[in-house]
Amino acid sequence: MTIDTQKPSVLIIDDEPIVLESVSVYLKDSGFCILQAENGRTGLAAFRQEKPDIVLVDLRMPEIDGLEVLATVTGEAPEIPIVVISGTGDMQDVIAALHRGAWDFVTKPIQDMAVLEHAVRKALERARLRMENKQYRAHLEEEIQKQTADLKDRTQDLETSNRKLEKEMAERRAEEQSLRRSNERLDLALSAARHALWDYNLLTGRIYLSPRFFTMFGFAPDEMSQDVETWYDLIHPDEQEPLKSRMADIASGAVTAFEIEYRMRAKSRDWRWVLCRGRLVEKDELGHAVRIIGTQVDITRRRLSVEELKTSQAHLRKENLRLRSSLKGGERFGRIVGKSRVMREVYELILKAAFSRANVIIYGESGTGKELVAQTIHELSDRSAAQFVTVNCGAIPDNLVESEFFGYKKGAFTGATLDNPGYLSSADSGTLFLDEVGELDLNMQAKLLRAIDGGGYTPIGSTDIKTPDVRFIAATNRDLQAFVKQGRLREDFFYRIHIIPIHLPPLRERREDIAQLVYHFLSTLSEDDKVPAVPADAMKVMQHYDWPGNVRELQNAVHRYLTLNKLDFMEDSTAGGSPAESGPAPEINLVGSNRELHGAVARFEREYLQQVLHEHQWHRGRAAAALNINRKTLFKKIKQYGISKAPNLYFL
């Protein structure tokens, strides 16, 4: 038999001639091309020869029964929908057929052929939507691959750091493709439940909306009335008229089908994108449109994916230009000053962290600039438009830690007069910087761990679970691995934050950056445009000093120099390292040109104090104890005699 390719073809397999003939006549009159088979054997032969669009098969037949036909068709052509026909007492067989791949079923005797026609059209529509969805996903993957290839071409001129970053991006794309394939398999399994059905009677103005029509937007099926105005009221005001226009076109006979995308308001008040398809299925005797049926599917994720791809491309172009500007001249990286080898290694890690979504832990002594590094990562990341929230974990009292992180509702406890969003909510879509993270207690670590893993949290006094999108950057000057061994830090919490570790070197390990840092602080702290000069021998002293307070101490020293015209050091450590490096202790000279007793005693006291201080490496507490005097008395003597740490310190 020759199949009319303009009509959908239906293969009907049934051993009852009456059923076979009645179903064939009805479906033929309904616009289908009919293929008949009186048993399973001839039915399979017709299936293999003609490849129909849909198969109707009776479950109970001699020799090859409907279940065997179902298994064969599903195995050879799983894309062809199968609707089974069964007697009223064969529900176990129907359930088995549905489990084996049947798309729908109709029971004998078929009292209303419209039910059968509806099942056939619904199955064909589902098959068509599946094929379109598959083709669209293939097209989307192809477009993503094209965009990715184009992006690679435009980033060939990046420096070595960008090339390393590109490798990480490729790994991330592979993970996303793997996740996309998993989602495709899941979407295929749930495709029937994802679509909402509607049936609009133009004569009565009544419309049937399937339960999924409401549940996909968070409403209960019986929460809203079944009328077309309910539908229109949920549509975005800017997009109501286009849908009404499509409906009017079908009613006037201008078109017989339409497809349109628009936004609908969910119960949560946010807008979701949907794809709506409608088709004219019934006319009256005068040829006027009577019924339109269609489907509606949520395509918000698809729309957001396209927008995210566009945003990501624009962001990468912007970041490439920004990174080139940041690395210009090689003497600094953004606001971070330094061109030593160890700092360049830090810059490489900052770049990797900025273009990754992984959590970061920054190790470094006090004053090395951990917060500045965290801010730089945030500013270079795709989260730069959102907030960078800093939390000093060691400064929050234990009884307030949970409320500060998770927030609370008004009236949750005494003194809670207003809602407090908490640090996590404030950092939504941005970065939360956990300074001194090792000071968090074990209980708070467990609660934060749940939020880091995406399990969300509940503000105090609320029952709502919040799941903000937060990137965590932690910092510490402690040995966290030792804390884990001591039981002071949860091992699982450690591994969640210790993904990209960045170790900041102390200033004594990058002395070549000191001159550049001094000039930077002189430029930024000076109150006029003229930058004061620092003598070369004074700069040499600073370059040989250990700077136990690191960059923060250096900044403080430069600030005092600008304010007091005096260069000295706050900490009690020997300039240049050990006492051996500073030379021998000064000898006390008892003979001089001034032979007066008062002058000789003063000179002896000054030189004796200087010798004791030198012997104790300028630790004023130990020197005072050795001299058996009060520490304050020692300070007064040092100030009185103008004693400095080393003979090459300057008062300018």
What pTM did the predictor assign?
0.44
pLDDT at 586 (0 to 100):
42
With 80 as the cut, is the pLDDT of residue 332 above it? no
Nearest Cα to Cα of residue 85 among 27, 127, 125:
27
**pLDDT at residue 321, as a whole number:** 53
pLDDT tier at 312, thresholds 50, 70, 90: low
The residue-averaged pLDDT of 257-265 equals 91
- pLDDT greater than 90 at residue 502: yes
How far is it, in rounded angstroms, from Cα 283 to Cα 290? Answer: 5
Amino acid at 527: E
Q: How far apart are CA 58 and CA 87, in angstroms?
A: 9
Query: What's residue 179's pLDDT?
Result: 63
Q: What DSSP state is assigned to residue 335?
A: T
Q: Which of 193-202, 242-251, 373-382 has the lowest mean pLDDT?
A: 193-202
175 vs 64, more confident? 64
Would you call 238 exposed, middle or buried from its count of C-beta atoms within 10 A (0-12, 13-18, 19+)? Answer: exposed
Tell me how far apart the alpha carbons of residues 405 and 393 are, in angstroms, rounded to a whole number: 10
pLDDT of residue 42: 92
Amino acid 389: pLDDT = 93
**Under a CB-based contact definition with an 8 Å cutoff, are residues 408 and 418 in contact?**
no
628 against 486, higher pLDDT? 486
> Does residue 596 register a pLDDT over 80?
no
In this model, does residue 501 exceed pLDDT 80?
Answer: yes
Omega within 30 of 0 (cis) for the link into 109: yes
The answer, yes or no, to whether residue 99 has pLDDT greater than 90, is no
d(CA 491, CA 493): 5
Residue scoring higher pLDDT (504 or 649): 504
pLDDT at 484 over 70: yes
pLDDT above 50 for 171: yes
Q: State CA 112 to chain mean position distance.
A: 53
Cβ(327)–Cβ(336) below 8 Å: no
Q: Residue 513: enclosing H or E segment and its boundaries?
A: none
Position with higher pLDDT, 183 vs 404 = 404
pLDDT of residue 482: 93
The pLDDT, as a whole number, for residue 583 is 41
pLDDT of residue 499: 92
Question: Could you tell me the pLDDT band of residue 516, with boundaries at 50, 70 and 90?
Answer: confident
- Give 70's contacts (C-beta < 8 A, 6+ positions apart): 57, 82, 84, 97, 100, 101, 102
Mean pLDDT of the chain: 81
Q: Do the two domains 9-126 and 192-303 of this chain adopt the same fold?
A: no
Dump pLDDT digits (tens) for 443-470: 888 888 888 887 788 888 888 888 888 9
Measure CA of the first residue to CA of the last residue in the chain; give whole Å: 108
Residue ranges of domains in the chain: 9-126, 128-178, 192-303, 335-505, 511-641
Between 101-105, 140-144, 412-416, 539-543, the lowest mean confidence (pLDDT) is in 412-416
Backbone CA torsion sign across 178, 181, 187, 189:
negative
Second-level CATH architecture of 335-505:
3-Layer(aba) Sandwich (3.40)
Q: Name the residue among 374, 365, 323, 354 with its Cα closest to residue 510.
A: 365
Does 207 score more than 80 pLDDT? yes
| 168 and 355 Cβ atoms separated by less than 8 Å | yes
> What integer is the mean pLDDT of 142-153?
80
Q: How far apart are CA 420 and CA 43, in angstroms?
A: 70
Say whether pLDDT at 360 is over 90.
Answer: yes
Residues 449/424, Cβ–Cβ less than 8 Å: no
Would you state the pLDDT for residue 582?
40
Token readout for 534 is 């620092």
Q: What confidence category does residue 88 fall into, taking pLDDT thresholds of 50, 70 and 90?
A: low
> Angle, to 10 degrees, between the axis of helix 91-99 and the axis of helix 66-76?
10
The pLDDT of residue 575 is above 60:
no
Q: How far is CA 393 from the centre of its chain?
A: 24
Which of 227-231, 425-429, 535-539 has the highest average model confidence (pLDDT)?
425-429
Burial of 518 (0-12, 13-18, 19+ CB in 10 A): buried
Instruction: Answer whether residue 609 shows pLDDT above 90.
Output: no
Q: Which helix (H) or strand (E) holds 431?
A: strand 431-435
Mean pLDDT, rounded, for 234-252 = 89
**pLDDT the model gives residue 475:** 94
pLDDT band at 186 (very low <50, low <70, confident <90, very high): very low
Q: Is pLDDT above 90 for 650?
A: no
The C-alpha atoms of residue 543 and residue 514 are separated, in whole angstroms, by 6
pLDDT band at 178 (very low <50, low <70, confident <90, very high): low
pLDDT of residue 189: 40
Confidence bin at 491 (pLDDT 50/70/90): very high
Q: What is the pLDDT of residue 149?
A: 78
* pLDDT value at 183 more than 60: no
pLDDT at site 287 = 86
What pLDDT is attached to residue 313? 63
Which carries the bigger pLDDT value, residue 48 or residue 646? Answer: 48
* Residue 136 one-letter amino acid: Y
Topology of domain 192-303, CATH: Beta-Lactamase (3.30.450)
In CATH terms, 9-126 corresponds, of 3.40.50.2300, 4.10.520.10, 3.10.20.30, 3.90.1300.10, to 3.40.50.2300
Q: Which helix (H) or strand (E) holds 89?
A: none
| Dihedral angle of Cα 228, 231, 236, 240, to the nearest 10 degrees | -20
CA–CA separation, 392 and 649 (whole Å): 36
Query: CB of 444 within 8 A of CB of 401?
Result: yes
495 pLDDT higher than 60: yes
Which residues are within 8 A (CB) of 504 and not within 5 positions of it... i.e. 6 or more apart?
A: 346, 362, 363, 364, 365, 368, 369, 370, 373
- The closest of 129, 278, 263, 121 to 191, measured between CA atoms, is 129
The top-scoring range by mean pLDDT among 365-369, 537-541, 589-593 is 365-369
List phi, psi (to 5°) of 278: -135, 150
Answer whether residue 606 shows pLDDT above 90.
no
Residue 210's pLDDT band (boundaries 50, 70, 90)? confident
Give the span between the Cα atoms of 614 and 391, in whole angstroms: 41
Residue ranges in 500-619 assigned as alpha helix (H): 514-525, 536-544, 550-564, 597-615
Residue with tokens 């700069």: 539
Confidence bin at 590 (pLDDT 50/70/90)? very low
CA atoms within 13 A on the CB side of 168: 16
The residue ranking higher by pLDDT, 206 or 495, is 495
* Long-range pairs of 264-270 with CB within 8 A, sequence gap ≥ 24: 264/217, 264/234, 264/235, 264/236, 265/217, 265/234, 265/235, 265/236, 266/217, 266/218, 267/217, 267/218, 267/219, 268/218
